[in-house]
Structure 1
Amino acid sequence: MKSILYYIVFSFWFLASLLPLRLLYVFSDLLYYPLYYGVRYRRKVVRNNLVSSFPEKDMKEIIQIEKDFYSFFCDYMVETVKLFSMSKKEMQKRMTFEGTELVTDAFDAGRSCSCYLGHYCNWEWVSSLPIHLGRPEICGQVYHPLENAAFDKLFLHLRSRFGAKSITMNDTFRTVIGWKKSKILNIVGYISDQVPGYESVHYFADFLHHDTPVFTGTERISKIADTTVVYLDISRPKRGYYLCRFVKIADSLNNHPIFYATEQYFRLLEQTIQRAPQYWLWSHNRWKRTREEFNQLFSEEERTKRLSRP
């Protein structure tokens, strides 16, 4: 049954992806109205996130960002559908990368890379990195398997179309360290702006005016594997086009204090979001976990222990 569902959904999405992107954007424009005004998809979460993240903005500005976010979210959906059949040539035209020498220089020096990025702009299109680098080193991406097996298989297909390798969150440490031991060079992308469970909290970052519990696993893996650490700053010059710029965080974390990479990542991501806030994924309840609840769950001794290591 799952296989049947997969092929039905795949066939529908693939046929839809054959439409020109300009026509898919017409569907995106039409989808915006029922999503924003009808279904009101997560409107309360989005509004609360925006108000608390931008206390300096008045309600008129907040509502404009909110509307722009929903408009972009519809674009994101049709752009992801287009990924099913987009050619390498078109992808290279629509998704460009700057600062790739930070990655290739690391490879030439025998070093692998860890790449921080966020749920910003079209993160699905970042999986096209292998065709931009044009090198034999592995381009990997960490992902959380979807509950629906058919859709999980569907997105795995999408993310591997241009040669990227998907790694489940549970297998990340074992995979990256295995590559390190086998001297297999790689760059792995980590979307690290999700909400961690309290058991996984080791650091609170000051992020968009919130005391934010954050994932630190990327830093932990990067330090153990001794990778070069970079951040991918993404912008959207115009509809359907993205510019990705690599920014170096550190050649090696062994020369930096604990949580250095995590803190730098959230500073850089915050700058990216403040530049054009409508392109971040505001529909997720990022701040549903608090330091107060964390303090209630763990003793002072346990809190000190947890917050002293990534």
Structure 2
Amino acid sequence: MKIRYLISDLCALLADWAGYRRDVIHINMARSFPNADYKELVHLRREYYRHIFDLAVESIWVVFVSQKKLCEHVTMSNPELPDALSQKYDKMLFVMGHTGNWELIGAIAGNGKSDRNNKFTDRKLYFTYKKAKNRFVNKLLKKIRYSAFKKSASVGDIVEVKEALFEFVSQRNNGEKANYFIIADQSPKGNYVTVDFLNQKSAFFRGAEYLSKKLNIPLVYMSMSRTSRGKYQIAFELIEEFPAMCPDGELTKRFAELLQNDIMENKVNWLWSHKRWKTRF
């Protein structure tokens, strides 16, 4: 076993012993999986600790590893879908949740440059991120994200989510080919869409829907699942090719449904330790 996973296993044991965010995790899982008994919830919580610390050590590992090695750990199952769309559209928007190891999605650029010809990644790539409250943590996360991104030799940038909507809309008519990537399952502030998600009413950030409709560019769901420890596979599903024609809230609801399906497929593969359901109805 790699030393990083020995460290992860030790941290998971310590987190379980110390009760790291135990109540938050337990409440989130109990409400989301009402048919699960206490024993199953304890098992899921312990598996989640292992999962989240795997993500942590992998996110540090990416700073030191080569792009070629990174691409061996993150693959795409159906790149032909975005490749086909890229033949028709200058810009596309990809939306995902906190599944798999989202800190490694910069490897997606490298996949296009290392072992296959495609149009999907041979363009500017823009990844959004949410600024951490802690200055040190934010600096560390930016270093990790830029490390994965720069190794791909891709053109584009990493953009703070509060600035992303304005920046992306301003690029609407610049004639450049670009892909935008947004993580959209955080607890939103202000304007949101109400969705039935994991057996409870949930508020969903509408930024991805707003942007895809404003630019009228294809909206593609991107899932990330673990195939084995340290290895992930990205899959794509078209949410809507012509977003401007969709009723308000429809695209966000479709995204939430696809994300829910992925979570039900692997209950541990999500960010359970955060207070996701802050909005009360």
TM above 0.5, one fold? Answer: yes
User: Whose relative contact order is higher, 1 or 2, with alpha carbons under 8 Å and at least 6 apart?
Assistant: 2
Equivalent residues in 2 for 1:129-144, closer than 5 Å:
129-134=108-113, 135-144=121-130
Aligned to 2:244: 254
Aligned to 2:180: 188
Aligned AA for 2:238? K
Runs of 4+ in 1 over 6 A off after TM superposition: none
Aligned to 1:30: 10
Query: Is 1:244 aligned with 2:230?
Result: no
CA distance in 2, matches of 1:150, 1:283: 20
Deviation at 1:68, TM superposition (A): 0.4
Work out which of the residue numbers 145, 166, 171 in structure 1 matches 2:158: 166
TM-score scaled by structure 1?
A: 0.82
Deviation at 1:105, TM superposition (A): 2.3
Deviation at 1:181, TM superposition (A): 1.6
CA distance in 1, matches of 2:235, 2:185: 18
User: Which segments of 5 or more consecutive residues in structure 2 lack a partner in the other structure?
Assistant: 114-120, 151-155
TM-score scaled by structure 2?
A: 0.91
Aligned AA for 2:110? I
Q: Deviations over 1:151-210 (max 9, x none)?
A: 32332232123346211122112211122221222111111111112x223x21000011
Work out which of the residue numbers 207, 220, 236 in structure 1 matches 2:197: 207
The CA RMSD measured in Å over matched residues stands at: 1.5
Conserved? CA contact 1:50–1:282, under 8 Å:
yes
User: Which segments of 5 or more consecutive residues in structure 1 lack a partner in the other structure?
Assistant: 1-20, 292-310
Q: 1:47 to 1:111 in 2, by over 3 A?
A: same
Conserved? CA contact 2:212–2:244, under 8 Å:
no
Conserved? CA contact 1:100–1:133, under 8 Å:
no
Conserved? CA contact 2:197–2:260, under 8 Å:
yes
Deviation at 1:29, TM superposition (A): 1.0
Report sequence identity in percent. 26
Mean CA deviation greater in 131-140 or 218-227: 131-140
Give the number of aligned pairs.
268
**Of the two, which has the highest radius of gyration?**
1
Aligned to 2:206: 216
CA distance in 1, matches of 2:170, 2:123: 15
